[in-house]
Amino acid sequence: MREPHPPRPNSRYPDYDVLEKRDTPSWNEKTREVIARRLAIGSERPEFFNADEFLTVDAIAARIVPQPDGRPPIPVAGLVDEKLHIERADGFRRAGMPREGEAWRITLHALDVEAEAAYGKPFRSLDDAAQDAMLRRMEKDELKSEAWQGLPCADLFKNRIGRDIVYAYYAHPSAWSEIGWGGPASPRGYVRMDFNERDPWEAIEVKGDFATAPRKERRDG
């Protein structure tokens, strides 16, 4: 039996754990299989990135999706690495944009070139403020090193790096529990579809003072 999820006092869903749905009619066997594979991904051994690239991805992810205290961190870099390793593509590609893996490698190398020029050290070794400053300049298309190979760095930030990191974060069940989402609605679906109506198996949102709000029971049925 799974250990009960510890309450998150600073969350709108402090006592909600989406994985409680694992063995209920909310999810079918295929959903359980997909989620199990996702939960098995960690941050120990990259398959696509080399060790330094992986540390840089981890540093970028920490600035784009900083994670709350009180729970194991979502392995964002590991999830991005897995996507690129198995070549799971988006199904479309913007004109002039290289394939996913190449776009990532160009970006990581170019960020290190820019960081070395500005601070004398690679991006992953910068402090938080310097990393934030560089990512803001990338977002605004203000980084112009030849290492970008003529690609607008803002496009790489918006359409590849930031996108992949945010998608990886919110593909993980820990993020679903944070935002009160029930995961794929397969096969159960939803019954109460109007505004401010909640099915019995959905999360209960706590409003007001998260830290002192009482814990509430839920039922899955």
Span 14-22, average pLDDT: 89
pLDDT in tens, 134-145: 999 999 999 999
The residue with tokens 């839920």 is 218
pLDDT of residue 166: 97
- Please give the residue that has the higher pLDDT: either 194 or 128: 128
pLDDT tens-digit series, residues 80-121:
999 999 998 887 777 778 999 999 999 999 999 999 999 999
Average pLDDT of 20-38?
A: 91
- Res. 157 pLDDT band, cuts 50 70 90: very high
Cα dist from 86 to 13, 28, 122, 157, 213, whole Å: 34, 24, 28, 22, 44
| pTM of the model as a whole | 0.86
pLDDT higher than threshold 90 for residue 1: no
Distance CA 158, CA 174 (A): 24
Find out whether 123 and 131 touch, Cβ atoms under 8 Å.
yes
Q: CA distances (Å), 150 to each of 5, 36, 145, 186, in order? A: 48, 40, 9, 44
**Average per-residue pLDDT for the chain:** 87
pLDDT in tens, 41-53: 987 789 999 999 9
Q: What is the pLDDT of residues 57-66, one digit of tens each?
A: 999 999 999 9
Looking at residue 90, what is its pLDDT? 80
pLDDT of residue 11: 75
SS (H, E, C) 78-133: HHHHHHHHCCCCCCCCCCCCCCHHHHHHHHHHHHHHHHHHHHCCCHHHCCHHHHHH
Tokens representing 91? 């199904």
Q: Do 55 and 124 form a contact (C-beta atoms < 8 A)?
A: yes
Nearest to 199 by CA among 178, 169, 220: 220
Note the helical H segments in the chain. 29-39, 51-64, 76-85, 100-119, 128-139, 153-156, 162-169, 173-179
Distance CA 221, CA 213 (A): 24
Residue % of the chain over a pLDDT of 70:
89
Does the structure show a pLDDT above 70 at 181? yes
